[in-house]
A and B are shown apart, each in its own frame.
Chain A
Amino acid sequence: MKKLNILIVEDSMITVKKMKKMIEDMGHTVVGYANCGEEAIGAFMNLKPDIITMDITLPGMDGVTCLKEIMERDPKALVIMVTSHGQEQSVVESVEAGAKGYILKPINEDMLKNQIEESYIRYGEDNG
């Protein structure tokens, strides 16, 4: 597995730190994080990560809207939604808008690894 560059979009810094540690333990790199949708779009355009993990509940622009904005700019963007919610409708809309998977909170390292790596293998630049 190629070492992936990952952007975390999440408004809780403690969750960012936890996810960063998990991702680095997997051998990948966290190239940046954003704590709101507006910041995430700028970070995506600047950093061009291989994968974005996107929290659904964000202050201001929510994660689903942010996903749509990113997909408009780059239809090949690989975004995985992160939600604590049984917000099935948000997940359905996210997948329809181009999200490649979702992770339920509380985040489990194995689950995160599977989603990141399977999404990249299936939809990443070599296969997408």
Chain B
Amino acid sequence: MENKILSERNLTSTDEYTVNLSNAVANRAVDYLLNEAGINLINYNNHETYMVEDIRLDYLTSIIAVEDKMKFTLAFSFEKELIEKIFVEYSKGIEIEKEEVSSYIEETAGDMINVVMGNVLKGFSEKGKFIHISVPIIVNEAKSIYKYKNSKFFKNKIKTEWGLLIIYCITPGEKAILQMKGKE
């Protein structure tokens, strides 16, 4: 099946790489939700990456910066009920104090993006080349971010029985994290 975005626009080779990467990340995220968290999907259309003009961060967002063939920023934005359900499944069997729950929910979001991205990069990286992946950062508030300069936003939406996970891939990577954190 052809990428929807590819049929609608003339993409640069960088865009094509990003679309393919975004699709792979979304597919691995779906696999993670199903197999690691036991969460069923309501609607997920394979190979459907959109280019969008703005980003709407939800209840909680985990973000990492990656430097491989190119620099990009990846964000997983979770609806509240979804990340809470993932946390419940992820923390099964371990004791967590009530006051630790909110920070561990954030760590769950950080671990998920780290694992998904890492697993996907195995198939994308060039042999013999170092891939730099930042430690995850967490943004825990809803906000909107708009495109600036030459940045491009790619979006995948995964609808589950517990709410939405929206995946954003942002190129180029420079400054995107600071922008999301509201430092610029």
Those of A50-79 within 8 Å (CB) of chain B? 57-59
Residue picked from A104, A105, A106, most chain B C-beta under 10 Å: A106
**A59 and B125 alpha carbons, distance in the complex (Å):** 22
Those of B124-139 within 8 Å (CB) of chain A? 124-125, 127-131, 133-135
Give the contact stretch, choosing among A41-49, A82-90, A110-118. A82-90
Q: Which residues from B are CB-within-8-Å of A12?
A: 107, 110-111
Q: Does B162 contact A (CB under 8 A)?
A: no
User: Looking across the interface, which residue of chain B has its beta carbon closest to that of A92?
Assistant: B128
Give the contact stretch, choosing among B4-12, B40-48, B90-98, B171-179. B90-98
**A97 and B100 alpha carbons, distance in the complex (Å):** 37
Q: Which residues of A contact B (CB under 8 A)?
A: 11-15, 17-18, 20-21, 57-59, 83-90, 104-106
User: What are 28 contact pairs spanning A and B, CB under 8 A?
Assistant: A11-B135, A14-B90, A17-B91, A17-B94, A17-B96, A18-B94, A21-B93, A21-B94, A57-B114, A57-B133, A57-B135, A59-B135, A84-B115, A84-B118, A84-B119, A85-B122, A86-B120, A86-B125, A86-B131, A87-B130, A88-B125, A89-B131, A90-B131, A104-B119, A105-B111, A105-B114, A105-B115, A106-B36
